[in-house]
Structure formats: structure tokens, C-alpha cells
Chain A
Amino acid sequence: MRTCLIVDDSRVIRRVARRILEALDFRVEEASDGAEAMALCRDRLPDAVLLDWNMPVMDGLEFLHALRREPGGERPIVVLCTTRNEPKHIAAALAAGANEYIMKPFDGDIIEAKFAEAGLPFGRTA
């Protein structure tokens, strides 16, 4: 089963995203900031990361930079998921190695479309 790490400091968002991703057949793990996410990744790299930008301790872009420098860290598909919606933010995230970019608010259709875009198409179970 494919794994996805959800990194967001909002428990509500994590819960919503988890429900969507589980319906898309992912095994989901959660972290509430970049540092926590980094620790989980060092333990075991997920197939995908759904990544908020603004978070305490270590923000999404810092995490992304760090992840891409880890051994094997170029492999996970990273989809930013943030309220930042200026072109310059998007460009910065892509330059940092993001595969796709979701502007909040999102729904199941957007997550599905963006993950497929990033190279993770699904067979839906439910």
C-alpha cells in the first residue's frame, strides 16, 4: 500500500485530508510541523507528502529543502497544500522541488487531480 505523510499544523485539515487520501488507498501518517515530518521521513520515506507551508518550528519550504537533500529524498512526490496563492510562492515551491501545488481551500477532486498530475494516479476503492 502506498504511503502519504500529511504535514499540517491544523488538526482539522489533517483529518479532512486523511479521509480523502485513505479513500484513495493511501496509508496515511501525520505530522504537525516540518521538524516532526523530517523525523518521520528519516525513519521511513513515504511515497507522497501533502505539505502545508506556514507551520511553527519548521515550515513547509524548509522541510522540502531538507527532504530533497536526504539520501533518497528526491523520491517522494511532494504536493504543497497552502493558502499562499501568489505566483511567486508557487514558483519558489517548484524551484525547491515540489511536484505539484494545491491552493487552499481544496476538496477531494482537487487532491485526486493534483496527485495524478504529480505522477500518482489512483485506482479508487470506494
Chain B
Amino acid sequence: MTPSDMEVLAQIVGARSGLVLPPDQAYLAETRLAAVAHAEHLPGVDALLQALRAQPGEALLNAVTDALANNETVFLRDRSVFDLLRDAVLPALAGARPGGAVRVWSAACATGQEPYSLAMLAADLPGMKLDLCASDLSERCLQKAKAGLYTQFEVQRGLPIAQLLRWFEKTEDAWRVRPELRQTVRWRRFNLLHDMAPLRRFDLILCRNVLMYLTPEARRLVLHGLAGRLAPDGVLVLGASESVGDAPDMFEAAPGGRGLFTLPCKAGAKGPRTGT
């Protein structure tokens, strides 16, 4: 793959998702595009690149963007964050709401491990009613998330065995999330670069391990959008290595750290206590 090929790809992916395509990942890109070419019944990566340079259709652009994004995730990723949500954040939010109804958005849920982790954890919290939405840009990821089907390898990374027994049933060659848990999550395709104003407000937003792959402008745009969707006392959770640095005025680090943020107090918000 030539540098000019990479440029074409970077432009497509950048425009559609805000993702940065590092020039030094040409090899990885080529492997992933080979799979797309195959799925699209094209003879190879060269033919695919040709199609992309001509007049590519929406579906092809989506498939390419999807293939070049990092979709990796595990159940209960960064366990200490989930501990903090379970022990402090969710009880505080629920306590401040009628009927303990807490609206949650997993805003780049990939293949669904994150929202399912939340659903499992909330099932053990008394007096809590999670209203759980999950979204991602990738249709392919969402399909898998909705089906709730995971390989033996996937269910062994991050998930305690007792939780596997309780919340999954074994199929021929995989593990499927039980319907009662699957039903607690609403899925939808959503591009974080799009206008968030029509969305409703959430008490807890998880937007983890996606900003780190985006351009600074895209990060700023997303953070501004999320700030507008967060309840005044709501909590935003970013990935362990992410920060609100690109939109410093929109959020404050919540006490307790670990990637938790609230709206600034001067906006009149009284954040829930997240300290440990």
C-alpha cells in the first residue's frame, strides 16, 4: 500500500468517524482491507482502493471505516472503574432520582461487553432501575452486541466465572447472554460526530477508549456534544488513558479520579459524591 493509498483511506475514515489513521499502520490496514475486499466480492485490496478512488457507495465507505477502527473491548474493562460505579456513582445517582431510575449511555459500545457489564452489575444493586442505551458507529459490532454471542475466548477475559454461569447460556460453540439481560439494553447506531442535540439527557455516560483514536478537533466536538447531554449532576466516564483536555472548560475531574468527570460546579450542578 502506497502513502497515497493511505492518504485516501485516512481521508475517508477521518471524515466519517474522526478516527486518525496512523501512516505507520499501513500493514495492519492492508490486512483489514483484504477482508473487506473479500466480503465485497472484489478481487483484492488494489481493486478495493480503486473503487474507493472512484465513486464509492455508502455501504462500501461504512465497511472500510468499520474495518479500520479498533473495536477491541473486554467485559468489565478496567475493573476499578466498574467498582467505583457500583459502590458510589450509581447509588448516588439512583438516590437522587425518583424510583432509582438512572439513564445510562454507553456511547461507543463496540461489541457490547461494556453495556452488558453495566447491566450485570446493576442487577445486584438494590433500588436501582437502569435505563441502558448503547450505541456505536459500527453496524457489524452492533449486530454482534445485539445477538449477545461471544466466543469462549471472549467470555474468559474480564468476566468472573460465577457471572458467566449466571448470565450466559452455552450454545454449540459459543456463549450467549441470557435474554433477560439482553432485554435490558437498547441498541442503536450513532456517530459521535453527529449532532447530539436531538438526543435526550443521561445521568451517566460512558465514552471510553474512543476519543484516544480521534483527531483533536473530533475529540473537542464529541466532548462538547456529551456535555450537552449530561444531566446537571451527571457523570461522564472516559477511558483510563483519556482526558477532557481538548475541551477543558466543559468538564471537571470528579473526586476519586479514574477517568470520571462532571460538569463544572459553576453551572449550578451538585455532582454526586464519587470519592472512595
Q: Of the 9-residue stretches A16-24, A30-38, A67-75, A83-91, which lies at the interface with chain B?
A: A83-91
A interface: dominant SS: helix
Task: Say yes or no for B267: interface residue by CB 8 A criterion.
Answer: no
A94 & B162 in contact (Cβ 8 Å cutoff): yes
B160 & A100 in contact (Cβ 8 Å cutoff): yes
Contacts of B160 in A (CB 8 A): 100, 117
- Closest-by-CB residue of A relative to B153 is A110
- Give CA–CA (A117, B157) in the complex, Å: 10
Contacts of A110 in B (CB 8 A): 153, 156-157
- Give CA–CA (A109, B153) in the complex, Å: 10
- Closest-by-CB residue of B relative to A79 is B161
A87 & B152 in contact (Cβ 8 Å cutoff): no
Q: Which of A87, A91, A94, A103 contacts B156 (CB 8 A)?
A: A103
Q: Which of B153, B158, B165, B170 contacts A94 (CB 8 A)?
A: B165
Task: Say yes or no for A113: interface residue by CB 8 A criterion.
Answer: yes
Interface string of A91-125 (1 = CB under 8 A from B): 10010000011110010011001100100000000
Task: Say yes or no for B84: interface residue by CB 8 A criterion.
Answer: no
A90 & B152 in contact (Cβ 8 Å cutoff): no
User: Nearest Cβ distance between residue B63 and chain A, in whole angstroms?
Assistant: 29
Complex interface residues of chain B between 138 and 170 (CB less than 8 A to chain A): 152-153, 156-158, 160-162, 164-165, 169-170
Residues of A within 8 A of B (CB): 85-87, 90-91, 94, 100-103, 106, 109-110, 113-114, 117
